[in-house]
Amino acid sequence: MDVVAVGVRSAVPVLSFTTGASQTSATVYVHGWYAQGTYYADDISLDGPGGGGSDSQAPTVPGNLRSTGKTSSSVSLAWNASTDNVGVTAYDIYRGSSQVLSVSGTSATVGGLSPSTGYTFTVKARDAAGNVSAASNAVTVTTDAGGGGGTGFKQAAPYLYLGWGDPPSATSVMNATGIKWYTMAFILSSGGCNPAWDGQRPLTGGNDQSVINSIRSAGGDIVPSIGGWSGNKLGPNCSSAEALAGAYQKVIDAYGLKAIDVDIENTDEFENATVQDRILNALKIVKANNPGLRTVLTFGTSTTGPTYWGNRLIEQAKALNAGIDVFTIMPFDFGGGADMYGTTVNATEGLKNKLKSTFGWDDATAYAHIGISGMNGLSDQQELTSPAIWTQIRDWANSRHIARLAFWSVNRDRPCPGGGVTSNCSGISQSNWQFTSITAGFTG
């Protein structure tokens, strides 16, 4: 509150007034005496502290920017109010580096967006003097697909391995269960940076292609699994991200693929920073060169979420702008006696939280970028996932609207109670293709 004096160079007395506690302006009128001629003022002086618009203090940063809803063409946002020494007059909403909206309240809906597309938003507060706060936390939201459906990518795709385990007829299993997708394992190196099925069978022209053709003729499709736990993998053998992208492209071109899955495991790929980055950059390249291609990363986990190497993989996916569509964890091999439903949920929630903190996503967006790949029956460490437990996991996955559900493997989806961990049965009592039938009920 300041005392201000206004003086006019004439015989008119000086006018003094005191501003209010939050007042930053005043209007002064000058005029002649009643019934006298026109009065002209040519020099007005203003004396007093704080005059002349001296407010230079910016508002505080808007807090807790978050998404409160989305459609295929809009994102709704909300944030906590800023404070200012005089008063906040507006909030400016930015999409990337471009201002797209200005509002007076603490919520807004940004429209005119494209379906199934990720957008990053920030908000800045502004006061009457034009002082602008620093940007809020960034929030990245993926719009719904046209007509709804989260990211528009949902995949129930158990593993089918033609290399061992008495592989069943893919189309017979489809007819019996209603499954439409298979994850076909494994694409490895046949020497250097050359892709082949199991590193041995030709990419095209052999039994693998015949099976894939039959799956597609029956109305289904496949996603190849590139990598895995063992074997000679492309990641370490290709000398650069560009070379690795070229190897992936050969697989994409061979089958006109809609999606590829890189199963990144073991010390040669997963626990190798150089190879992790090479894989991420290669996936970024093929995604740019193949519009609409979906990219999936599959990797191990702890009972509470990603390990050190999983966290690094996610952080680098963000840093390198790799555009990964689905991060799939394998929640098994924790140790005998594990609660497979509880640990699967806990591990997936840990992954969700990591995706939220890394990408700035809300819960719904994070879930829509998650996959679960389990192990039916007995795992390598004698953990038991029964049909009832797998049904619980599927139902939980549906309730969270995740993107992908898979298990290892259809080859093992047959009963052999007391049979242990083998390549062609689950080791437990079940009906033929029971886990596949359950998985077919995954809709996201």
> Which amino acid makes up residue 46?
L
- Contact criterion met (CB below 8 Å) for 213 and 205: no
The rounded distance, in Å, linking the Cα atoms of 226 and 238 is 13
Helices (H) and strands (E) in the chain, counts: 10, 22
Number of Cβ within a 10 Å radius of residue 160: 25
Alpha carbon of residue 28 to chain centroid: 57
Q: What are the C-alpha distances in Å from 236 to residues 93, 129, 298?
A: 44, 58, 17
- CA atoms 107, 111, 115, 121: torsion sign: negative
Residue 383 bears catalytic tag: no
Q: Which of 265, 271, 349, 383 is catalytic?
A: 265
Task: Name every residue whose Cβ is closer than 8 Å to that of residue 97 and which is 6 or more positions away in sequence.
Answer: none
Q: Name the token pair of 230.
A: 């063992």
Residue 52, exposed/middle/buried by CB under 10 A (0-12, 13-18, 19+)?
exposed
Q: Name the token pair of 393.
A: 């996991």
- Contact criterion met (CB below 8 Å) for 69 and 76: yes
The rounded distance, in Å, linking the Cα atoms of 60 and 136 is 10
**Residues catalogued as catalytic:** 265
